[in-house]
Amino acid sequence: MVVPGFYESQLTVLAIYCIAALLLERYVDGQKKKNGASASQDPGSRPLNGGIIGDKSARAYSLLQKSYLLVYAVVMGADWLQGPYVYSLYRDQYGYSERIVGLLFVTGFCSAGLTAPLVGVWADQYGRKRLCLYFCISYALSCFCIQFPFLPILFVGRLIAGFSTSILFSCFDSWLVSASQQDGVSSANLSTIFGRATQINGFVAAAAGVISNELVSATTTFASPFVLSAVLLIVSYGLIRSMWSENYGNQEAATSAKTDIFQVARLKQAWSIVRRDPSLIVLGVTQTCFEGSMYLFVFLWVPSMQESSPPNVDLPLGYIFSAFMVSMMLGSLLYTCIISHSLPNSDPPLVLHAKLSSLVCLVASLALATSYSAATAQKRFWAFCIFEACVGMYYPVQGMLRGTMISNDHRATLSALFRVPLNIFVTGVMVTGVSTNRQLVFSGCTTILALSSVLTAVVIVRRTTEMAAVQTRPA
């Protein structure tokens, strides 16, 4: 039996831990920078004419950070508001079967995968700002479509939402990188903007869960968060139009890409590279296993929590969603703590990331195994929180491994290839009736995550150890 207010209290506890960890991390990092600056300061050195240039660069950095982070916070707020109640809207309010709900989710997923190559070409050719403006319009249109319990309109809405998601996770970052180059912002400052965007995203996600929960309670309809999301998207349109300048990509690459829109030739080239290096195959397997399990979790967490709770009890899904998002932030902070404050005699950074990757997959596997065997809703809730913490560690760990082990010339190509088995895996599971076999799906995810952990420990750790040995070998 779940105690009334249980999820709200657990969210409060997690939020306190997260804020305390964030403040502590910032304090320790500030002290390290202060000590480093004091040790390297040269009293006899004076800037010559760098002061004016530095001031100009600082102003450009400040303006770019303000214009990007403000838009990013509003846009991500609009996106996260839709997270907690999309399943409940389709299943509980509109009354569609879980198989139909699964097909709606698959439609959005496939739409995002199929339109991703097109979005990249259009952004390079017609401008990133223009595509971001189109995102605001199309995503707001998908929020409009979801208000109608008519299946064809709902499928159209999912198609539009998938297309919008492709723009969200490609064009916004591309605009920032290009704008920073145009304004002369350093790579260190650009990294700072990305880091602050990640922190803002976590806080916005947690707040969106609480707000959506209160909206549903006040309006007694699961569709109300989507209305607020559309309002925020309209606000985002105005902000982008007034604060951002236009920038473009490589026009020659965009022109050549039009002859191979779905990048078939590029995928063939990627496969010829991967099959010669087992470590790249394992990286692709890890991406398929972990991200596939994560996408399936997005669909399964609501019905899983409902079946473990007493009947006729309305779960505060917004608060539960916020707790998951705070758990993800804690995982990201734990990663930062491990990497930034590791002991001097510990493993080289690349080897440490490989071992963390194996550990994250193993813990995620155990978390899902605990969730489907848990007898109470509280245990299942905490198992899901642990899984979300693993998600928070996974992305920076895998980003580091891919960024180091894959050359810059082939990084985009291999990323496209790795998404092919991921799309096939998720679509196949969803289409074959995932909702009626939740325990089987969680069992399968547990197995493939454990397999990924073992493969990473055997192949990736050994490969990164060899790379680290070559880098430290005297010339």
pLDDT of 104 higher than 90: yes
Helix (H, G, I), strand (E, B) or coil at 460: helix
The pLDDT tens digits of the residues spanning 177-215 come to 888 888 888 877 887 888 788 778 888 999 999 999 999
Mean pLDDT of 135-148: 97
Which amino acid belongs to residue 211?
A: I
CA distance 389 to 394: 9
Give Dmax over CA atoms of the chain in angstroms: 75
Residues 394, 1: Cα–Cα separation, whole Å? 33
- Provide the sign of the torsion angle of the four alpha carbons 50, 52, 53, 55, taken in this order: positive
Q: Is the pLDDT of residue 426 over 90?
A: no
Q: Predicted confidence band at 413 (pLDDT cuts at 50, 70, 90)?
A: low
For 149-162, how does the pLDDT look when each residue is reduced to its tens digit (9 = 90+)?
999 999 999 999 99
Q: How many CB atoms lie within 10 A of CB 409?
A: 8
pLDDT for res 259 = 60
Q: What pLDDT, on the 0 to 100 scale, is given for residue 236?
A: 97
Give the pLDDT score at 251.
56
Q: What is the pTM of this model?
A: 0.83
Helical pair 408-431 and 264-274, crossing angle rounded to 10 deg: 100
Task: State how far the alpha carbon of 274 is from the alpha carbons of 192, 262, 406, 418, in Å.
Answer: 32, 19, 10, 10
- Of the pLDDT bands very low, low, confident and very high (cuts 50, 70, 90), residue 358 is very high
Report the pLDDT value the prediction gives residue 235, as an integer from 0 to 100.
97
CA distances 408 to 20, 47, 119, 181, 402, Å, are 37, 36, 21, 18, 10
Alpha-carbon distance of 106 to 394, in angstroms, equals: 23
Whether the pLDDT of residue 8 is over 60: the answer is: yes
Give how far the C-alpha of residue 115 lies from the chain's centroid of Cα atoms, to the nearest Å.
18
Q: What is the mean pLDDT of the chain?
A: 84
Q: Higher model confidence: residue 470 or residue 154?
A: 154
Checking if the pLDDT of 412 tops 70, the result is no
Q: Which of the two residues, 71 and 425, has the higher pLDDT score?
A: 71
Q: What is the pLDDT of residue 226?
A: 97
Please determine, for residue 261, whether its predicted confidence score (pLDDT) is greater than 90. no
Average pLDDT of span 317-327 = 94
| Residue-wise pLDDT tens digits, 166-175 | 899 888 988 9
Say yes or no to pLDDT of 45 above 70.
no
Neighbours of 393 (CB within 10 A): 24
Q: What is the mean pLDDT of residues 405-410?
A: 66
Pick the most confident of 47-51, 142-146, 394-398, 416-420: 142-146
- Look at residue 266 and tell me whether its pLDDT is greater than 90: no
Residue 144's pLDDT is what?
97
What confidence score (pLDDT) does residue 48 get?
47
Mean pLDDT confidence for 314-326: 93
**Mean pLDDT, residues 365-375 taken together:** 91
The segment with the largest mean pLDDT, out of 247-251, 372-376, 460-464, is 460-464
Rounded Cα gap, residues 125 and 146, in angstroms: 31
Average pLDDT over residues 441-458: 94
Mean local confidence (pLDDT), 450-461: 94
* Sequence-ordered alpha helix ranges (H) in 376-407: 377-405
Higher pLDDT, 236 or 406: 236
> What's residue 166's pLDDT?
86
C-beta of residue 331 within 8 angstroms of C-beta of residue 393: yes
Q: Is the pLDDT score of 435 beyond 80?
A: no
| Average pLDDT value for residue range 346-367 | 91
CA 464 to CA 456: how far, in whole Å?
10
Average confidence (pLDDT) over 82-103: 91
Considering only CA atoms, which of 390, 383, 404 is closest in space to residue 452? 390
